[in-house]
Structure 1
Amino acid sequence: MSGEISMIGSVILALFLAGYLGQQYLPPPKPKVIGLDLGTTFCSVGVFQAGTGEVEVIADKVGRKSIPSAVSFTPTAVLAGHEAVDLADSNPQNTIYDAKRFIGKIFEPEDLVQESARYPFKVINNNGSAEFSISTNHTFTVSPEFIGSRLLLKLRKMAEQHLGVPIQKAVISVPAEFDERQRNYTVRAANIAGLEILRVINEPTAAAMAYGLHKVDVFNVLVVDLGGGTLDVSLLNKQGGMFLTRAMAGNNKLGGQDFSQRLFQYTTERIRQEFGVSPTLKEDIHRLRQAVEAAKLNLTLQPSVIIKVPLHLNTNERSKTPEGAAPASVLFQAKITRELFEELNEDLFKKILAPVETVLAEGHLQKEDVDEIVLVGGSTRIPRIRRLITEYFGKEPNTSVDPDLAVVTGVAIQAGIMGGSWPLQVSAIEIPNRHLRKTNFS
């Protein structure tokens, strides 16, 4: 009997030794499950690397780790991501963005009219569902989930090219306030892109996982998610590895795009004052918007930046140029300081605190009861916004994770768990809150 036990022990030891040696000397298996963050403004794909236990957010060919959530239709192609954004000014009626705002949602007719008024493309009502009208060499409609599918397909192809293996399975994140229909239509978008969704995870929970909060002893977690177009504030209660979204509030019309627009309006007025006219050519406007966006990003790290933009303006002098001659360009140049940028946007920045106060009130908490403040979304990099949050709570938020990539990092960890990758991770378990309602500000 003792000989049999000894033999069994030897076999088990040999298996452990083989596993250890394989882990040390054999290449780790390629990830087969990807994590997807289909954001309103940007989207990303990540994988959990077996062996190292690290998350890799996959970049495109030029190193960008996220792509704009935009799809543009031309007579010969359907373009997604950066290629679509490049056509936004020259092909505005057929370049669709912010589709996530419409996916799976049922609208009252007047609400859809109001929501669609802010976009250059045409949104039509199909029995309460939004569809987008496209006119290239013929006119047709596409659904929000089809737009999402083109973005997810691009992310899938990026992952396949990087990993060198076909991908059919994924985990995807959604806003915590998404109802069952919106979640199902998000999954449908992934299915159209040829992906099987193994799990849908809430964005705040994914962000908390990225910060490792599913493995540490915290109870009240506040997630401030400020992206390009929306603000979402979520209060999570955590016990063990279980997360309950206790309260939500936000502003569906506040984000980085609004901060850029304030700076764009300022520079346009400066051009009018200096040259007598505002830019009207699509190429000039596109170039100025790009310069403004770059300035906003650089002001996060630098106290001031110089904007230099060549423009072709229709001034009286230019109208006298010989017919057929190309008008000479002018160079607009301006110094933009961080103080100026903060002054232009101070009222918008302060709007961030309203939903923070609301979730604390609905969660019956004081500021001091919040254990961790987690920042998500690229706009939370703005120094003034971080100062506002720090001053409000009397302590600094957790900034240990890239806020642009926090959600996709958490989703990739969950994808690794679903794929059984080694080293094994502790999964976050979400407790459904059927009575949860999101308070919206504007």
Structure 2
Amino acid sequence: MSGEMSAIGSFILALLLAGYLGQQFLPPPKPKVVGLDLGTTFCSVGVFQAGTGEVEVLGDAEGRKSIPSVVSFTATGIHVGHDVQDLIDSNPQNTIYDAKRFIGKVFEPDVLIAESARYPFQVMNNNGSAEFLITTNQTYTVTPEFIGSQLLLKMRKMAEEQLGVPIHKAVISVPAEFDEMQRNYTIRAANMAGLDILRVINEPTAAAMAYGLHKVDVSNVLVVDLGGGTLDVSLLNKQGGMFLTRAMAGNNKLGGQDFSQRLFQHATERVRQQYGVTPSLKEDIHRLRQAVEEAKLNLTVASSTQLRVPLRLLTQGPRGPQETPIIFQEPISRERFEELNADLFQKILTPIKTVLEEGHLSKEDVDEVVLVGGSTRIPRIRRLIAEYFGKEPNTSVDPDLAVVTGVAIQAGIMGGSWPLQVSALEIPNHHLRKRNFS
């Protein structure tokens, strides 16, 4: 009997030794499960690399780690992500963005009319569901999940090109507020892109995983997610290895686009003051918006920047309107940018206070404040949050890539990648409702 036990022990030891040597000297297997962040403004795809235990956010051919969540329809085809940039102003009625706001939702007619009034494209009501009217060489409608499928297909192809293997399985993130129908329609979008979704994970939980909070001793985590178009604040309570979302609040009409718009309005007013007219040509507006967006990004790392934009202003000449080429130049300081957006920045604190109140916690009870979304790079916003809590928020992870990083970790877990990670489980909170401020 002892001889049999010894043989079994030797066999197990040999297996472990073979596994160890394989990890050390054989190339690690290619990831077969990807993590997907289908964001309102930007999308990303990441993988967990077996062997190293590192997350890699995959880029496109130009090395860009995310793609704009925009799809444009023309007579020649469907254009996705960065390929749409030049079509936003020239083809606005057929260029769809913010589709995530509509996916899987049933609207009252007046609510859908009010929601769609802010967009240049036409939103149709199909028995309470939103559809987008497209007019190219023919007229037809597309659904929000079809828009999502085109974005997911783009990311799937990016992953296949980077990894050199076919991809058919994924983990995907959704806002914590998404109900069962919204989650199912998100899965349907992925299925349309040829992807089998192994798990759906809440974005705040994914962000907490990216910061490694599923492996450390914390109880209360506040996630501030401020992207291009929305603000979401979630209060998570960690119980063992499980996360419970205790409270949610936000503002679905507050984000980086609004901060850029304030700067754009300031720039157009300065053009008017200097030249007597405001930019009206589509090309001028497009150039100015691009310059403003770049200036906003520069001001996250510099105290001042310079707007310099070639414009062709429509001025009144002796024979009527004529195009006058000019070079618009204007210095922009971080202080001026903060003044232009002071009231918008203050609005960020409203949902933070709400989730603490509804979660029955004081701000001193929050163990970690983590930042998600590119707009949390803005120094004034970080300072505002730090002043409110009396401590610095956790900024150890790239806020643009926090969610996709967490989803990629979960994808590695679902794919059984080595080294094994601790999974973050979510406790459903079916009675939770998100408070929206706008």
The aligned residue for residue 158 of structure 1 is 158
Structure 2 stretches of 5 or more lacking a match? none
AA matched with 2:33: V
Q: In angstroms, what is the RMSD of aligned CA positions?
A: 1.1
CA contact (8 A) 2:242 2:427 kept: yes
State the Cα distance separating 1:315 from its structure 2 match: 1.4
C-alpha distance in 1, partners of 2:220/2:51? Answer: 32
The aligned residue for residue 351 of structure 2 is 355
C-alpha distance in 2, partners of 1:65/1:106? Answer: 33
C-alpha distance in 2, partners of 1:247/1:14? Answer: 50
The aligned residue for residue 417 of structure 1 is 413
State the Cα distance separating 1:239 from its structure 2 match: 1.2
CA contact (8 A) 2:259 2:341 kept: yes
State the Cα distance separating 1:320 from its structure 2 match: 6.8
Deviations 1:382-409 (A, max 9, x none): 0000000000000010000000000000
AA matched with 1:254: L
The aligned residue for residue 15 of structure 2 is 15
Whether 2:322 is the aligned partner of 1:340: answer no
C-alpha distance in 2, partners of 1:5/1:241? Answer: 36
Determine which of 285, 310, 330 is the counterpart of 2:326. 330
The aligned residue for residue 6 of structure 1 is 6
Deviations 1:14-51 (A, max 9, x none): 11111111111111000000000000000100000000
State the Cα distance separating 1:317 from its structure 2 match: 4.4
State the Cα distance separating 1:319 from its structure 2 match: 5.8
Deviations 1:411-437 (A, max 9, x none): 000000000000000000100001100
The aligned residue for residue 167 of structure 1 is 167
C-alpha distance in 1, partners of 2:126/2:271? Answer: 43
C-alpha distance in 2, partners of 1:236/1:280? Answer: 47
State the Cα distance separating 1:367 from its structure 2 match: 0.7
Question: Equivalences for 1:132-143 in 2 at 5 Å?
Answer: 132-143=132-143
Whether 2:48 is the aligned partner of 1:52: answer no
C-alpha distance in 2, partners of 1:128/1:438? Answer: 21
CA contact (8 A) 2:222 2:236 kept: yes
C-alpha distance in 2, partners of 1:358/1:400? Answer: 26
Relative to structure 1, is the Cα distance of residues 57 and 8 closer, same or farther in structure 2, using a 3 angstrom cutoff? same
Structure 1 stretches of 5 or more lacking a match? none
AA matched with 2:301: L
Question: Equivalences for 1:292-441 in 2 at 5 Å?
Answer: 292-317=292-317, 327=323, 329-441=325-437
C-alpha distance in 2, partners of 1:351/1:50? Answer: 42
State the Cα distance separating 1:13 from its structure 2 match: 1.7
Question: Equivalences for 1:278-297 in 2 at 5 Å?
Answer: 278-297=278-297
The aligned residue for residue 78 of structure 1 is 78
AA matched with 1:358: T
AA matched with 1:152: L
State the Cα distance separating 1:91 from its structure 2 match: 0.2
CA contact (8 A) 1:300 1:381 kept: yes
C-alpha distance in 2, partners of 1:269/1:184? Answer: 46
SS in 2 for 1:301: coil
Question: Equivalences for 1:88-103 in 2 at 5 Å?
Answer: 88-103=88-103
Instruction: Give TM-score scaled by structure 1 length.
Output: 0.98
Instruction: Give TM-score scaled by structure 2 length.
Output: 0.99
C-alpha distance in 2, partners of 1:3/1:199? Answer: 45
SS in 2 for 1:334: strand
SS in 2 for 1:103: coil
State the Cα distance separating 1:9 from its structure 2 match: 2.0
AA matched with 1:379: S
State the Cα distance separating 1:348 from its structure 2 match: 0.1
SS in 1 for 2:436: strand
AA matched with 1:246: R
AA matched with 2:144: P
State the Cα distance separating 1:3 from its structure 2 match: 2.6
State the Cα distance separating 1:227 from its structure 2 match: 0.2
State the Cα distance separating 1:121 from its structure 2 match: 0.1
The aligned residue for residue 225 of structure 1 is 225
The aligned residue for residue 270 of structure 2 is 270
- The answer to which of 7-16 and 398-407 deviates more is 7-16
Deviations 1:126-184 (A, max 9, x none): 00000000000000000000000000000000000000000000000000000000000
Relative to structure 1, is the Cα distance of residues 347 and 319 closer, same or farther in structure 2, using a 3 angstrom cutoff? farther
State the Cα distance separating 1:12 from its structure 2 match: 1.6
Q: Could you list the runs of 4 or more consecutive aligned residues of structure 1 that deviate by over 4 angstroms after TM superposition?
A: 317-321
Query: Percent identical across equivalent pairs?
Result: 80
Deviations 1:49-106 (A, max 9, x none): 0000000000111111000000000001101101123210000000000000000000
C-alpha distance in 2, partners of 1:318/1:63? Answer: 50
CA contact (8 A) 1:209 1:410 kept: yes
C-alpha distance in 2, partners of 1:330/1:199? Answer: 54
C-alpha distance in 1, partners of 2:182/2:86? Answer: 29
CA contact (8 A) 2:315 2:324 kept: no
- The answer to which of 15-24 and 186-195 deviates more is 15-24
Deviations 1:314-353 (A, max 9, x none): 11249679x9xxx552000010000000000000000000
C-alpha distance in 2, partners of 1:106/1:208? Answer: 30
State the Cα distance separating 1:441 from its structure 2 match: 0.2
The aligned residue for residue 67 of structure 1 is 67
CA contact (8 A) 1:318 1:328 kept: no
Relative to structure 1, is the Cα distance of residues 308 and 221 closer, same or farther in structure 2, using a 3 angstrom cutoff? same
AA matched with 1:341: F
The aligned residue for residue 145 of structure 1 is 145
AA matched with 1:257: Q
